[in-house]
A and B are shown apart, each in its own frame.
Chain A
Amino acid sequence: MRLELRELTRRFGATAAVERLSIALDAGRIGCLLGPSGSGKTTVLRCIAGFERPDAGEVLAGGERLAAPGVWVPPERRRIGMVFQDYALFPHLGVLANVGFGLRDGDRAARRRRALEMLELVGLADQADKLPHELSGGQQQRVALARALAPRPRLVLLDEPFSNLDAEVRMELAQQVRTALKSEGATALLVTHDQREAFAIADEIGVLRAGRLEQWDAPWKLYHSPATRFVADFVGEGNFIQGTVLGPGRVSTELGVIEGQLTRGQPAGTHVDLLLRPDDVIHDDESELRAEVVERVFRGAQFRYTLRLPSGATAQSFAPSHHDHAIGERIGIRLDAQHLVGFPRE
């Protein structure tokens, strides 16, 4: 079921938690709202679910208006499943009973079968008789997902579903969640502040800042073609260095003239701040360009070096970890950037 938000606005007092948000998510796609805390993403979710009333704008699911001026469908009639941050499993019911809670159609046997099917989907069929407090956090979250999916909702909303779990569990669970959602063909919207989760699960991501949408795009494009400075900062790692546009695809910087695709098509002569990702800065012993190592972070397969350039600006670089350089060393670097992301210097 296609989800559409049109100019969604929600205010708390004088501040706007969500300001004129418009997105569209096609049926069967998994979307994500990404942003720091306080950016309004949970509010958006609650407006879609019907737990908050928007002050302006519309919420449409499958073309049907759920919320609009003069229109309000109560949450229990929206057929929108929700997975909460704290799982919200009913403590007085067993796992199977929790999963089957929202099932209405069919006889008891049919409902039981569907509930077991969902439990199998999340790999917990053997825990059917346990009570929620007897499961681990990750298991509880999977039960919550199974519960939300069981009634075949037209949309599934996930509110920071992994934030209560430890790191190793997160990534694994994220993959499992994506598989489960895709296999049910569900349209889903996830909300998180963790970009790795977002990248792992979502087909499309919207970056939110103070209630406004900065960019709605595929993860790859967010990373390589951020539309705003904020997105560039927030998504992925990197630094800005100063440069001047010489012509289409050519920017002059202190590291030399860089050639590539200028994503924002600025005219020649514009002074820009150019985004340099760590993977754009290659460590090359042969290069004449030298930079001083000021910080290094060991990441197993790589080092991430923070380097000081001759002009004083900083850049980061990934280097295979057998290139072990100490702080203070001057190492050779060269640029290998395909996408040139520049923003007009302020």
Chain B
Amino acid sequence: MTSSQRQSPTLAAITVALPMIAVVVAVMQGAAGADAELWAHLREYVLAGVAWNTVILVAGVVAIAMALGTSLAWLTAACDFPGRSFFSWALLLPMAMPAYVLAFVAVATLDYAGAVPALLRGWFGADLWLPPIRSTGGVIGVLALAGYPYVYLMARGAFMTHGARALEAAQSLGLGPWAGLFRVAIPLARPWLAGGAALVAMETLADFGAVSVFNYDTFTTAIYKAWFALFSIETALGLALLLLLFVVVALALERAARGRARYSASDSGARAALRIELTGARAWMACGYAALVFALGFALPAIALTQWAWQVAPLDLDGRYVDYALRTLGLAGMAAILCLALAIVLGYATRRAAGPVAQAAARVATLGYAVPGAVLAVGVVTALGAADQAWRTLAGGEGLWLQGTVFALLLGYVARFLAVAHGPVQGGFERIRPSLEEAARGFGLGAREVLARLHLPLLGAGMGTAILLVFVDVMKEMPITLMTRPFGWDTLAVRVFEMTAEGEWERAALPSLAIVVAGLLPVVLLTWRMERAARTA
């Protein structure tokens, strides 16, 4: 491929990465002006603690989410036990439950003063010791429950499409089902598992809502403190820069860990492998395990939310809720389509111009997932402010053109969630063999036609997954929406924030429940497509 042929895809990749680039530039610029004295204070009293806390949190959440997601994916993809077909899709439902909602439900029901301990103390006496939910273990557990569906999704996809044949080979060599899981299925699924782990890690790093409820200090809370309590945006951006570096290093490690091995998608339709039938105690243990995770991650919180919402509904439920719901859904839909389009452009561009610049652009573009929403919002606001300023000097006039519009919101969402769309789309592209493209080009189709007539139809399932994932994530999003939304554009998440900020958790139940219900539809759609894809594979 000539260098000129490489230029336009590279340019396209850079364009897609622009929101993130703008954020990084704003962060670096801001950080340059950091207050030295404040840094000294942070270094001495704050940094070590939050760094350690953050590492423990991310490590703990990733470890537990991986264990939950992989084991449950294995049980539902390769084994059979009572209730398997129900749990196959039900175990994805916690994806509709935002982490901050799970957090406040957990604390409200399980803290010392909550309903469950009160009940238990009533039975067993007031001196009963119960493990405190407001602890490191508690916040790790809650974030792991909120995050495991991503690993589950990835692992299940890997086991169902690639695992079957290798597992049969392992069985023919004498490996029983569990040895097969650990020696074959998991190693083969490594790239997908690593992808799921990366998503969970980044979500955890960027989380602010859940850790606030637990009053757990992480890098992100330190950023908020420097910015809003100490009013030094420069120092906050300096911390954000540290966070970004940490993420870049972690992602590089993950890529290195993938090793030399090449995992090509086998096109030969793998026949559905015979399921490992669990019997007796094992079967019921599996059922109980799945039921426990489902209950803790979705069923019980949903019941609690419904109960509270029921009490509050007469007060709060009115025509405005339709408005919130419409706006939430509308924003989520727009962001999802936008992210998908950009992910396709990025995927295609990096495929056609596999040079270092395009690859770097792709990595930068997907970095946003790990960045706290507030930092992204700063970047977006700063960048748009500069753009507005330029527009004013060039074209005259006054007022805000880009700032404070839906465009600012969407820009923030794209910077943050492009990574979520990028994964499935990239996976879809990789499954298209280069020979197909060559055949299409041989018929005289230009690059854009090849994209429209070959890639898009073949990407099919990948696109659906990307849209649904971004949709659910944007619906749950809070910090960016809070900071950049135009007048009258309150979403359900904003409502939740306002209630929880004032400690009115019962009133926060109604909008929370609305978010969960609205998120159920895409999640169910997602599982339905996965089942269908698995059956026809």
Touch between chains A and B, by CB atoms below 8 Å: yes
Q: Which residues of chain A have a CB within 8 Å of any CB of chain B?
A: 46, 49-53, 74-77, 79-82, 84-86, 88, 90-93, 101-102, 104, 131, 133, 147-148, 151, 157
Say yes or no for B47: interface residue by CB 8 A criterion. Answer: no
Contacts of B271 in A (CB 8 A): 46, 51
Q: A51-B171, A84-B165, A92-B263 are known; give 11 further A-B pairs, CB within 8 A.
A: A49-B168, A51-B168, A51-B271, A76-B170, A76-B171, A76-B177, A80-B172, A88-B166, A91-B188, A101-B170, A157-B172
Complex Cα distance, B260 from A86, in Å, reads: 21
Complex Cα distance, B171 from A199, in Å, reads: 30
Q: When the two chains form their complex, are residues B169 and A82 in contact, meaning their CB atoms are under 8 A apart?
A: yes
Q: When the two chains form their complex, are residues B184 and A131 in contact, meaning their CB atoms are under 8 A apart?
A: no
Q: When the two chains form their complex, are residues A148 and B172 in contact, meaning their CB atoms are under 8 A apart?
A: yes
Q: When the two chains form their complex, are residues A86 and B261 in contact, meaning their CB atoms are under 8 A apart?
A: no
- Residue in A75, A104, A147 whose CB lies within 8 Å of B168: A75
Contacts of A49 in B (CB 8 A): 168, 172
Complex Cα distance, B141 from A40, in Å, reads: 51
Contacts of B273 in A (CB 8 A): 51
Closest to B268 in A: A86
Complex Cα distance, B170 from A75, in Å, reads: 10
Complex Cα distance, B271 from A186, in Å, reads: 27
Say yes or no for B259: interface residue by CB 8 A criterion. Answer: yes
25 contacts between A and B (CB under 8 A): A50-B171, A51-B274, A52-B274, A74-B171, A75-B168, A76-B171, A76-B175, A76-B180, A80-B172, A82-B172, A85-B268, A88-B169, A90-B166, A90-B188, A91-B188, A102-B172, A102-B173, A104-B174, A131-B260, A131-B261, A131-B262, A133-B264, A147-B173, A148-B172, A157-B172
Q: When the two chains form their complex, are residues B174 and A102 in contact, meaning their CB atoms are under 8 A apart?
A: yes
Q: When the two chains form their complex, are residues B263 and A91 in contact, meaning their CB atoms are under 8 A apart?
A: yes
Q: When the two chains form their complex, are residues B176 and A90 in contact, meaning their CB atoms are under 8 A apart?
A: no
Q: When the two chains form their complex, are residues A91 and B261 in contact, meaning their CB atoms are under 8 A apart?
A: yes
Say yes or no for B49: interface residue by CB 8 A criterion. Answer: no
Quick one: given A133-B262, A151-B174, are A84 and B188 in contact (CB under 8 Å)?
Answer: no
Contacts of B165 in A (CB 8 A): 84, 86, 88
Instruction: Please report the number of residue pairs spanning A and B whose Cβ atoms sit closer than 8 angstroms.
Output: 82
Closest to B175 in A: A76
Contacts of B264 in A (CB 8 A): 91, 133
Complex Cα distance, B261 from A53, in Å, reads: 34
Closest to B184 in A: A90
Q: When the two chains form their complex, are residues A151 and B173 in contact, meaning their CB atoms are under 8 A apart?
A: yes
- Distance (whole angstroms) from the CB of B253 to the closest CB of chain A: 18
Say yes or no for B187: interface residue by CB 8 A criterion. Answer: yes
Q: Which residues of chain B have a CB within 8 Å of any CB of chain A?
A: 165-166, 168-177, 180, 184, 187-188, 190, 259-264, 266, 268, 271, 273-274
Closest to A148 in B: B172
Q: When the two chains form their complex, are residues B172 and A75 in contact, meaning their CB atoms are under 8 A apart?
A: yes
Q: When the two chains form their complex, are residues A101 and B168 in contact, meaning their CB atoms are under 8 A apart?
A: no
Q: When the two chains form their complex, are residues A92 and B172 in contact, meaning their CB atoms are under 8 A apart?
A: no
Contacts of B177 in A (CB 8 A): 76
Closest to A50 in B: B171
Q: Chain A CB within 10 Å — which of B166, B174, B264 has the most?
A: B174
Quick one: given A51-B274, A102-B174, are A90 and B268 in contact (CB under 8 Å)?
Answer: no
Complex Cα distance, B261 from A90, in Å, reads: 10
Quick one: given A51-B168, A75-B168, A90-B188, are A101 and B263 in contact (CB under 8 Å)?
Answer: no
Contacts of A90 in B (CB 8 A): 166, 169, 184, 187-188
Complex Cα distance, B172 from A157, in Å, reads: 10
Contacts of B263 in A (CB 8 A): 91-92
Q: Chain A CB within 10 Å — which of B171, B262, B273 has the most?
A: B171
Contacts of A91 in B (CB 8 A): 188, 261-264
Contacts of B259 in A (CB 8 A): 92
Complex Cα distance, B171 from A81, in Å, reads: 9
- Distance (whole angstroms) from the CB of A75 to the closest CB of chain B: 4
Complex Cα distance, B263 from A52, in Å, reads: 27
Q: Chain A CB within 10 Å — which of B177, B188, B260 has the most?
A: B260
Contacts of B176 in A (CB 8 A): 74, 76
- Residue in B172, B175, B266 whose CB lies within 8 Å of A86: B266
- Distance (whole angstroms) from the CB of A221 to the closest CB of chain B: 32
Complex Cα distance, B270 from A85, in Å, reads: 11
- Distance (whole angstroms) from the CB of A28 to the closest CB of chain B: 20
Contacts of A92 in B (CB 8 A): 187-188, 190, 259, 261, 263
Complex Cα distance, B175 from A81, in Å, reads: 12
Closest to A150 in B: B173
Complex Cα distance, B173 from A145, in Å, reads: 12
Complex Cα distance, B273 from A80, in Å, reads: 17
Contacts of B188 in A (CB 8 A): 90-92
Complex Cα distance, B413 from A261, in Å, reads: 85
Complex Cα distance, B490 from A290, in Å, reads: 95
Closest to A87 in B: B169
Q: Chain B CB within 10 Å — which of A52, A75, A93, A133 has the most?
A: A75
Closest to A49 in B: B172
- Distance (whole angstroms) from the CB of B153 to the closest CB of chain A: 22
Contacts of A101 in B (CB 8 A): 170, 173
- Residue in A51, A79, A85 whose CB lies within 8 Å of B174: A79
- Distance (whole angstroms) from the CB of A27 to the closest CB of chain B: 19
